[in-house]
Structure 1
Amino acid sequence: MPEIPLVPAHWHFPAHPASVRRARHAVTESLPHILRPHLGDDLGLLTSELVTNAIRHGTCRVDEDLIELVLWPADGHYWLAVSDPGTGKPVLTHPDANAENGRGLLLVDNLATTWTVRARPTRGTSVIAGLSLRQNT
């Protein structure tokens, strides 16, 4: 008989800066206690960066727009998908030393084992990042 997978954790937050902290807390608190010392900080930082980007670039910054998060374990990783209603595709850039922003995806690129951007079937964009369980346990 096949192993029954865990049900993914799923949240919606308003497109408001206060949601960044709430999302980070929700995601890290949903990790099993045994994994928090290994994944909690990196997963919290990934969540903060991706939710901040979604609010800044993927919404109209009104509380009617929602940011969706899904967290699930699979294939030796914990996967985080952050989705927004926007149609733009985030692009990894290398800002110069004087730039005041533009480093969020660099951080994601360095923290995550792998990550990608996908258009959603109906409306919006998802950024999906995976953290390896093997490297962190």
Structure 2
Amino acid sequence: MTATQPPLTARRFAMCFTSSPRGARLARRMCAHRLDAWGVPYGSDAHDTVTLIAAELCANAVRHGHVAGRDFHVLLTADPATGTVRLEVSDTREERLPHVRTAAPDESGRGLLLVEALADRWGCAARAGGGPGKTVWAECAAPGLT
């Protein structure tokens, strides 16, 4: 006799990427593809928002969190029950914590300003598992998750 198991509701994608512009681009594309597969279609506001946040956090991991020979890690989870997507990007550099800053229009450095404006919540924490580095995370509403 087999018991009926409830359907799996939470979605999870995790992967390590090389700490390079190519790795950041691949991470963004993989997150975009996964969101579409989970029912947040390309071109929707939720998809574009999470993909932009992924691009910013991954670029920051490469630009500001790079340690030679170390990859960065992406964890994307989605919970259809709450309609929430959470993105976590971990790097191995702990002495450079993220902070929001304003920049002149011709300067770079506005990535976290975008994350703060677009995400419902975001923050930074010590890397899970006691490893070196930090994790920057963001959560967004994503209607349509399946």
For structure 2, which runs of at least 5 residues remain unmatched after alignment?
none
The DSSP-based 3-state class of the residue aligned with 2:39 is coil
Runs of 4+, deviation exceeding 4 Å: none
Match of 1:125 in 2: 134
For structure 1, which runs of at least 5 residues remain unmatched after alignment?
none
Match of 2:91 in 1: 84
Percent identical across equivalent pairs? 30
- The one-character-per-residue Cα deviations of 1:83-124 (angstroms, maximum 9, x if unpaired) are 0001021011122345x1110000111111110111113311
What is the aligned counterpart of 1:93 among 101, 104, 107?
101
TM-score, length-normalised on structure 1? 0.85
- The one-character-per-residue Cα deviations of 1:55-83 (angstroms, maximum 9, x if unpaired) are 111113x3x21110000013431000000
* Bigger radius of gyration: 2
Shift of 1:34: 2.9
RMSD (CA atoms): 2.2
Match of 1:105 in 2: 112
What is the aligned counterpart of 1:51 among 50, 54, 58?
58
TM-score, length-normalised on structure 2? 0.80
The DSSP-based 3-state class of the residue aligned with 1:110 is helix
Question: What count of residue pairs does the alignment treat as equivalent?
Answer: 133
CA distance in 2, matches of 1:65, 1:103: 25
Query: Is structure 2 residue 13 aligned with structure 1 residue 13?
Result: no
